[in-house]
Amino acid sequence: MRLRNKPWAKEKIASYPHYVIPHPEQYKGRWKEVFGNDHPIHIEIGTGKGKFITEMAKLHPHINYIGIELYPSVLVSALDKLIENELPNVRLLNVNAKDLTNFFAEGEIERIYLNFSDPWPKKRHEKRRLTYRAFLELYEKVLVDEGEIHLKTDNQGFFEYSLVSFSQYGLVLTYVSLDLHHSDFAGNVMTEYEEKFAAKGNRIYRCEAKYPPKHRFA
Amino acid sequence: MRLRNKPWAKEKIASYPHYVIPHPEQYKGRWKEVFGNDHPIHIEIGTGKGKFITEMAKLHPHINYIGIELYPSVLVSALDKLIENELPNVRLLNVNAKDLTNFFAEGEIERIYLNFSDPWPKKRHEKRRLTYRAFLELYEKVLVDEGEIHLKTDNQGFFEYSLVSFSQYGLVLTYVSLDLHHSDFAGNVMTEYEEKFAAKGNRIYRCEAKYPPKHRFA
């Protein structure tokens, strides 16, 4: 995503601590308290301008959503959607996904969404891809037993890479679509990026993968 | 594939017992004797007119290939290619893949090729798809430990199905291409079907999957 410089973004984010949690490490293991209920928690890594997460939150009021986004200039748009919609089941974190285990305890998350992640196509950047082995290890640490990753992308190379990376890690693919917008998948919620690229006629790829039971090495 | 009736096909096949093995069950566990060496054996299920297997056999003289094809009217074209090329490392079987364990002993096969298999798109025909769970069990019985399946198809639905079926069975995807003819995959040998469909601009999908170690349940 091209980033516009918005020097006021950080300040705006800081003024809505109820929506963009300022020191999320203090809620590690206690996110149920933040939401005031014990509904399942789904996180989106790279939540961007927040269309996906806010629409999902409206459709699924009994799921709690946490959107993680590194860039304040983008996150501020997601914040605007929260302010406008007053959604009780969404929070945002302005943090780096690499630090995920600082913010969430083991088994605290039920599902991770990866939507149109940066594909980092150069081989030497493989470690930055959000489906690289080290990230899959990280996700496993915060997910429940047999937790899920739901991934969408328009990038063919990143999708091919992710399928193999998931499989080699031991995740089981439970759903694959190689052309989501011409499939019978119901209830797709589009991201901003997805709308733009689908309008150009790009194929959207989607998969769901499930971690193996944690007792597999026991 | 549309089948032309060739009443003479069975007769021609019967007259080349060196190429199309008449009673393959008698060689179960003894295919090394048939080839006169202990090179790895790769089989193609649904070998069709034999372009793939004969070209592969020329490129890889230290691999033994067995092509399996149910329809005599198609297999006869593969036979013609063997007669013309005098390839010592290819045999053909005019049998049904369902009976695979009648012809091969455990661990006798290193790799299985599935090229442009009938996709059987209707849900009620799922059991006929060559990547249905029951077939994956069958293949495992004749494959070596961590044996491989290499699959190509132009059928999107069949490819999606196969990726999920492989993964759910416990196979590990080691390679996925969602557009083989525009990838950097080297050494692709095209089937007759592949040439025709690629010429129309259809995408060709390809994957490699590996069985888990057999001691996994030990």
SS3 sequence of chain B = CCCCCCCCHHHHHHCCCCCECCCHHHHCCCHHHHHCCCCCEEEEECCCCCHHHHHHHHHCCCCEEEEECCCHHHHHHHHHHHHHHCCCCEEEECCCHHHHHHHCCCCCEEEEEEECCCCCCCHHHHHHCCCCHHHHHHHHHHEEEEEEEEEEECCHHHHHHHHHHHHHHCCEEEEEECCHHHCCCCCCCCCHHHHHHHHCCCCCEEEEEECCCHHHHC
Q: Which two tokens stand for residue A213?
A: 């039971």
Output the pLDDT for position B2.
Answer: 57
Is A176 close to B156, i.e. CB distance below 8 A?
no
Stretches where chain A sits below pLDDT 70 are 1-4, 215-218
Radius of gyration for chain B, computed over Cα atoms and rounded to the nearest angstrom: 17
Output the pLDDT for position B218.
Answer: 46
Output the pLDDT for position A218.
Answer: 46
Q: Is residue B120 part of a domain?
A: yes
Q: In Å, how far is A52's CA from the nearest CA of chain B? A: 25
**Contact (Cβ atoms closer than 8 angstroms) between residue B43 and residue B113:** yes
**Locus of tokens 């004797």:** B33
Output the pLDDT for position A2.
Answer: 57
pLDDT of B171-195, one tens digit each? 999 999 999 999 999 999 999 999 9
Q: Is residue A24 part of a domain?
A: no
Q: Please provide residue A114's backbone torsions phi and psi, each rounded to the nearest 5 degrees.
A: -120, 105
Which CATH number fits the domain that encloses residue B111? Answer: 3.40.50.150
Stretches where chain B sits below pLDDT 70 are 1-4, 215-218
Q: Is residue B40 part of a domain?
A: yes
DSSP 8-state secondary structure symbol assigned to residue A70: S
Task: Please say whether the dihedral angle defined by the alpha carbons of residues A143, A144, A149 and A150, taken in this order, is positive or negative.
Answer: negative
Q: In Å, how far is B53's CA from the nearest CA of chain A? A: 27
CA distances from A109 to A30, A32, A130, A149, B43 (A): 11, 11, 17, 11, 44
Q: In Å, how far is A176's CA from the nearest CA of chain B? A: 5
Q: Is residue B3 part of a domain?
A: no
Q: Is residue B6 part of a domain?
A: no
Output the pLDDT for position A1.
Answer: 55
B194 is in an annotated binding site: yes
CA distances from B49 to A144, A171, B217 (A): 50, 37, 40
Radius of gyration for chain A, computed over Cα atoms and rounded to the nearest angstrom: 17
Output the pLDDT for position B41.
Answer: 98
Q: Is residue A103 part of a domain?
A: yes
Q: Does B118 qualify as catalytic in the annotation?
A: yes
Instruction: Count CB-CB contacts under 10 A for residue A11.
Output: 11
From the list A101, A172, A106, A102, the residue with the least C-alpha distance to A145 is A106
In the stretch 187-216 of chain B, residues with CB closer than 8 A to chain A read: 205
List chain A residues with CB under 8 Å of B167: 167, 171-174
B186 in the Ramachandran plot: left (φ > 0), alpha (ψ -120 to 50) or beta? beta
Complex ipTM: 0.93
pLDDT of B134-182, one tens digit each? 999 999 999 999 999 999 999 999 999 999 999 999 999 999 999 999 9
Q: Is residue A4 part of a domain?
A: no
How many domains does the structure of chain A reveal? 1
Pairwise CA distance, residues B24 & B29, whole Å: 10
**β-sheet with B41-45: strand ranges across:** B90-93, B64-68, B41-45, B109-115, B143-153, B205-210, B172-177
Q: Which residues of A have a catalytic role annotated?
A: 118
Domain range spanning residue B133?
A: 13-217
**Contact (Cβ atoms closer than 8 angstroms) between residue B71 and residue B5:** no
pLDDT of A77-98, one tens digit each? 999 999 999 899 999 999 999 9
**Contact (Cβ atoms closer than 8 angstroms) between residue B130 and residue B114:** yes
Q: From A171, which residue of chain B is nearest by alpha-carbon distance?
A: B167
- Enclosing H/E stretch for A42: strand A41-45
B120 in the Ramachandran plot: left (φ > 0), alpha (ψ -120 to 50) or beta? left
Is A168 close to B179, i.e. CB distance below 8 A?
no
Output the pLDDT for position A43.
Answer: 98
Q: Is residue A12 part of a domain?
A: no
List chain A residues with CB under 8 Å of B184: none
